Structure 1
Amino acid sequence: MHPHHLALIYTMVLMSAADSEMSDAELATLGKIVRTWPVFRDFDREHLTEAAQDCAGLLQAEEGLETTVQRIDQDLPERLHETAYALACEIAAADGSAGLEEMRLLEILRDRLRIPRLSAAAIEHATRVRHLTA
């Protein structure tokens, strides 16, 4: 498994777990993203559950959040930082609302991955309009 795939999956699992609840909608979105986004084209989906469980285990440890965010930053090439942020936004929007914990985690990821404010705003806006209902 490529380190960047693991980092992207960790990003999604981390966002899903931010409010201490991994909703069915978030898990379904995670699976759909892995099946459809080009960045996962060469990812073996057989490893998805294992990667998600590894991330959950890492989060349970002392300083788990910091360790996980640090690992995401280390394992992602800079060209995929905005992709990771977009993935985080998709998971945050999956269940129809983003709580304070999710908003705080987006801020942490934005800062750690050095996402420019305008880029972050554009990604957030695109995610929001994609998830609007009539």
Structure 2
Amino acid sequence: MTERISAQDALIWVMVCVAAADGKMTDAELHTIGEIVKTLPAFKGYDVNRLPDSARACGAMLHAPKGLEEVTKMIGAGLPPEAHDTAYALACELAAVDSKLEIYEARLLQIVRGGLKVDRLTAVAIERAVQARYRRI
């Protein structure tokens, strides 16, 4: 049976997965995760001091055999269905932080979208909104 994590930790794990998709987490990605956790209503009541431990736990699990598969299962188990689109939106936010979508991040977004069963229309709307939000002009 898959271990359960809180809904807030599941959202953090989604962001950590995308940030770590290329093998490194940039300062901008870490800063964005921190700001999201401090400001998004989904994290109301979450102890921000738990953030580093949650991120480390996700990272450790990702390095285990079949780590991404297990992390994906835990994220799905930790989130109520109505938060699956929120998780996908946060994944897209992290992918957009450095202004370029790497192949690793694109593949991870596909895995997240499929694992959380985010329908294609919802996914496209989220992706478009994130593109507009992070557009440089």
TM range (shorter): over 0.9
Cα root mean square deviation, aligned: 0.8
What TM-score comes out, normalization by structure 2 length? 0.95
**Per-residue deviation, residues 45-69 of structure 1 (Å, max 9, x unmatched):** 0100010010011011000110101
Percent same amino acid among aligned pairs? 44
- Deviation readout 1:93-118 (Å, 9 max, x if unpaired): 01111100100010011111010101
| Residues in 2 aligned to 1:117 and 1:68: alpha-carbon distance in whole angstroms | 22
Distance in 2 (alpha carbons) for counterparts of 1:111 and 1:97: 22
**2:118 is aligned with 1:115:** yes
Given candidates 47, 51, 60, the residue that maps to 1:57 is 60
Give the letter aligned to residue 6 of structure 1. Answer: D
Q: How far is 1:24 from its partner?
A: 1.1
Q: Does the alignment pair 1:19 with 2:51?
A: no
Normalised TM-score (structure 1): 0.97
Paired residue for 1:104?
107
Where does the alignment leave 5 or more consecutive residues of structure 1 unmatched? Answer: none
1:66 is aligned to 2:73 = no
Per the alignment, residue 37 of structure 1 pairs with: 40
User: Unaligned 5+ residue runs, structure 2?
Assistant: none
